[in-house]
Chains A and B, each alone.
Chain A
Amino acid sequence: MSLTPAEAQSALNDIEKTENRTAASQYHRVSSPYLILWGVIWVIGYTVSAAFQEMSIVWMPLIVVGVVGSILLARRAPNARTAEFGWRYGASFAVIGIFNTALVAVMSPLDYNQMSALIPLAVGVYYAFIGIWTKAWRMMPLGLALIGLTTLGYFMLPEYFRYWMAAVGGGGLIVGGLWMRNAGS
């Protein structure tokens, strides 16, 4: 049995392609439960704060639930590499939180809709960058969709913006999480 250089190159290409697909599938599946968790939190937070503006404080316990839930998901990860992914995911959200706090301080005064749009826009950028820089390419269309839909709702439906964000922001994250979960199966 002998192989030509072209056949050997073709086999190496197949190997690289399969390894990349497997790695992408792993990244997508690891990110799935985080997206679903935060999607549910967004749906509850935006819906409650839209229906009862005085209940905006609901975000505080919800964020605590999200952070604790994310830590638990990272600890449940089956191996060191995916646990590290969870750690980075949580740390990145902390950076986004700091970034948004600084942005609000610099840009104030902001109205409620502007405040409500900031986090989804920052999260959208974060997801798009994950998609560009890692093998989890599905994060890029998810991030761009989040940015696009947030901007659309902000300008087209200002009176219903928080309901809009509950539906397309939170709902989008949940759908995105389910899309990631099905990667490679």
Chain B
Amino acid sequence: MTDQPDPIIHQPVRLKIMSALKALPDRDLLEFVRLKALSGATEGNLGAHISSLEQAGYIEVQKDFHHNRPRTRAKLTRAGRRAFEDYVAFLRGIIGET
């Protein structure tokens, strides 16, 4: 376990995005519109944070058409899942939980 929080995850909106994606079963994707509702972020803000997480290799973004409408979905990568678990372990370490 590191002695510093992961700076990519350690931001309120990005933490909510990661938490929401972590709650899904493996390989499941969450639509952008639902991520927006779950994170409480504005559309532009959410887009910027999703880009940061994607560049870090923590999430994978897929764009396609569903019922003739563009759809953007995201899911956690294996590296993202591991980074999130490390981050939670870091937080638990601070409050004395193992």
Contacts and interface: CB of A to CB of B under 8 A. Distances in A.
**Genuine A/B complex:** yes
B57 interface: no
A156 interface: no
A31 to B, nearest CB: 16
Interface in A74-107: 78-81
Contacts of A159: none
* Dominant secondary structure at the A interface: helix
Nearest to A1: B4
A61 interface: no
A1 B37 CA distance: 29
Interface stretch (A8-16, A108-116, A147-155): A8-16
A18 B34 CA distance: 12
Contacts of B20: 18-19, 21-22
A20 B20 CA distance: 9
Nearest to B20: A22
Interface residues of A, number: 24
**Interface band, chain B:** 20 to 34
Contact of B38 (A12, A15, A184): A184
Contacts of A11: 15, 91
A64 interface: no
26 contacts: A1-B5, A1-B10, A3-B91, A4-B94, A5-B94, A5-B95, A8-B91, A8-B95, A14-B12, A14-B15, A18-B15, A18-B39, A19-B19, A19-B20, A19-B22, A20-B23, A21-B38, A22-B20, A22-B24, A22-B30, A23-B23, A26-B24, A79-B25, A79-B27, A80-B25, A185-B33
Given A22-B38, A185-B34, 19 more contacts: A1-B7, A1-B10, A3-B5, A5-B94, A8-B94, A15-B15, A18-B23, A18-B39, A19-B22, A20-B23, A22-B19, A22-B24, A22-B30, A25-B34, A26-B24, A78-B28, A79-B26, A80-B25, A184-B34
Interface of A: 1, 3-5, 8-9, 11-12, 14-15, 18-23, 25-26, 78-81, 184-185
Interface of B: 4-5, 7, 10, 12, 15-16, 19-20, 22-28, 30-31, 33-34, 37-39, 88, 91-92, 94-96
